[in-house]
Homo-oligomer: A and B are copies of this chain.
């Protein structure tokens, strides 16, 4: 496998022009795109339709350039958006390709990408152990698809899953079924939680037997260090993207990850950059800035209501959701280290990294 990745800025959720230009000048072929992961500029909440617009726009681009139907693209290429580019965060997509090998593998572990789709969940399954098991099966399929041999080589597993809407809740009720929550905004958290636990089960970080208890959405000492999940009303299944390294890959790119202990843990970011082979002093060395493709981060407000003992007001704010606050804060911390505000920071880190902290993964051009 020869995997590539291209970070493209977006002037609006339907702006696919940078990707189109890359195809035009031969940087990659539309047929080789296997996954897209990005940030759109909506509110990141239930009614954030920037995700749907961006998905449709990239599907139309790939359909046009490959001659395939949109419906076929939708079944083959997971396109996952996390809504919400608060603060300085710059809307963008990372386009992943898988292409024929260019020569033989060089011996070093290099970027490998795999994907999978699961079945749709019923409203009453949503946010439950069933949801987690379905997610875990999807992750295993994507790991196999990526050709990654050891779970230690997994560095970032992204799942996009659904959310409950008033209509889905009512539909379940009509059938006499209970749902985990009737609060549509909160259902997004349950979706992220179930998918994250599923990733942990597939990666071996979480004991599958744990699923029987009341873990999902409650027991946050159970977590995966490589899980990143987001949710949105536009789907009801799990779409999975696995990013890791493999000796069989001939990619020029490499993945690494570390953990942020809390929202201002710039040290965790520096550690992830170093693990990817980049030189970092207080900030990413100027000479290595070109080598950085993207940073992928999950985060959440400190659940205690205080960060390092200092009160925050995110949970008391009835105007702006806590997820919006924390994304803007953590993006700024990342950018103050890398110099680049165009990175992927997604909130709602239930079971994704330690409580009140999160996952930080780095995708970079490998050193020689």
Contacts and interface: CB of A to CB of B under 8 A. Distances in A.
A28 interface: no
A185 B9 contact: no
Given A305-B170, A313-B85, A43 B319 contact: yes
Nearest to A188: B318
Interface stretch (A108-116, A141-149, A251-259, A322-330): A322-330
Interface of A, helix, strand, loop or mixed by DSSP: loop
Given A90-B310, A320-B320, A341 B11 contact: no
Contacts of A294: none
A147 B143 CA distance: 64
Contact of A339 (B91, B167, B308): B308
Question: How many copies of this chain are found per oligomer?
Answer: 4
Nearest to A338: B264
Nearest to A324: B320
A121 interface: no
Contacts of A339: 264, 308
Interface string A258-269: 000001111100
Interface string A288-320: 000000000000010011111011111111111
A12 B233 contact: yes
Interface in A123-166: 165-166
Interface of A: 9, 11-14, 41-50, 52-53, 56-57, 85-91, 165-167, 170, 183-186, 233, 263-267, 270, 281-283, 301, 304-308, 310-321, 324-326, 328-333, 335-337, 339-342
